[in-house]
């Protein structure tokens, strides 16, 4: 199925609808083309026993929209994100950014993975500045941009620290700063907080919402944590078991800016229950004995 991105949302809940000025003063136009369009994407990994990972996934993400993908393990979430990132080629279908087909990785897409992928011999500032090496700017300008983005993620004062001197949450902040420093229009995140303890994970979720509200970029976010998906997202897609397809689309009509207290509200709990029930249904297809 192809999912549009221009549907109006519940203005009574305080969410900006298409055509309504956002907090930053930017305006989303109802007729604007999608920022990211995934059309009929299929992926089969060849081998002695070919594995069909994705079977015709289509979705459209608007500019400044935060969308999460959830589903059972092995349903193809990370495969889809890798295709959007340009790291692997689809077997069929295509991916377009601002109407243009992608051809491998690009500066229009930033990537943050669960592993921090920092260079251990570089400082936090140098790790961020490394992403700017292809830009036409002086070393002084790269340093300024790196410091600006470290400040954005709350790491002022840690620019000269090396990864081993930083906690897991702080290392992931450096990774986010690095992904944002060259100003991509799309941020791709694959379980970025999965390796963090519960308290640090909550803090990182709050940080990410602040960064997203400041930058207003399109985010495609992969997670196994349903509460995290509801808290962060404008829409949540549930994927089927392998081969992955889109099973359900849940619009998150909750007011922004969001606080952790919102997770106790009846509206939040109802959305969480709906998504969990959809995932559980897929789990029972794999192991029908669960819950019997």
Full DSSP string of the chain: ----S-----GGGTPPPTTSB-TTS-B--TTPPPSEEEEEEEEEE-SSS-EEEEEEEEEEE-TT-EEEEE-STTSSHHHHHHHHHTSS--SEEEEEETTEE--S--TTEEEE-SS----TTS-HHHHHHHTTTTSS--HHHHHHHHHHHHHHTT-TT-TT--GGGS-HHHHHHHHHHHHHTT--SEEEEESTTTTS-HHHHHHHHHHHHHHHHHH--EEEEE-S-HHHHHHH-SEEEEEPSSSB-EEEEEE----SS--GGGGGSHHHHHHHHHHHHHHHHHHHHH-TTTT-
Whether residue 13 is predicted with pLDDT greater than 50 in this model: the reply is no
- Given a cut of 70, is residue 82 above it in pLDDT? yes
Per cent of the chain over pLDDT 70 is 87
Q: Which domains does the chain have, with CATH numbers?
A: 1-103+222-292 (3.40.50.300)
Residue 7 binned pLDDT confidence (cut-offs 50, 70, 90): very low
pLDDT one-digit tens code per residue, 195-230: 888 888 888 998 898 888 887 899 999 999 999 999
pLDDT score for 15:
30
pLDDT (tens digit per residue) in 218-262: 999 999 999 999 999 999 999 999 999 999 999 999 998 888 888
Q: Is-above-0.95 flag for pTM?
A: no
pLDDT on residue 44: 96
How high is the pLDDT of residue 170?
A: 94
């Amino acid at each position: 199925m192809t999912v549009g991105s221009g549907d109006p949302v519940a203005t009574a809940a305080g969410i900006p609808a298409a055509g309504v000025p956002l907090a930053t003063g930017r305006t989303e136009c109802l007729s604007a083309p999608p920022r990211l369009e995934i059309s009929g994407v299929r992926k089969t990994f060849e081998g002695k026993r070919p594995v069909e990972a994705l079977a015709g996934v289509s979705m459209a993400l608007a500019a400044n929209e935060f969308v999460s993908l959830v589903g059972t393990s092995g349903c193809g979430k990370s495969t889809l994100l890798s295709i959007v990132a340009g790291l692997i080629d689809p077997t069929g279908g295509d991916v377009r950014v601002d109407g243009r087909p992608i051809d491998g990785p690009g500066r229009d897409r930033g990537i943050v993975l669960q592993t921090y992928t920092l260079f251990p011999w570089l400082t936090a500032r140098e790790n961020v500045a490394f992403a700017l090496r292809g830009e036409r700017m002086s070393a002084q300008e790269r340093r300024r941009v790196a410091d600006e983005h470290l400040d954005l993620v709350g790491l002022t004062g840690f620019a000269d620290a090396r990864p081993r001197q930083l906690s897991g949450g702080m290392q992931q902040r450096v990774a986010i700063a690095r992904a944002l420093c060259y100003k991509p229009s799309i941020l791709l995140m694959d379980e970025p907080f999965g390796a963090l303890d519960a308290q640090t994970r909550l803090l990182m979720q709050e940080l990410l919402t602040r960064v997203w509200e400041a930058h207003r970029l399109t985010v495609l976010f992969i997670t196994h944590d349903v509460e995290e998906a509801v808290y962060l997202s404008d829409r949540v897609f549930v994927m089927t078991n392998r081969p992955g397809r889109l099973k359900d689309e849940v619009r998150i009509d909750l007011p922004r800016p969001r606080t952790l207290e919102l997770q106790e509200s009846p509206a939040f709990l109802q959305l969480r229950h709906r998504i969990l029930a959809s995932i559980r249904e897929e789990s029972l297809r794999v192991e029908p004995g669960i819950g019997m």
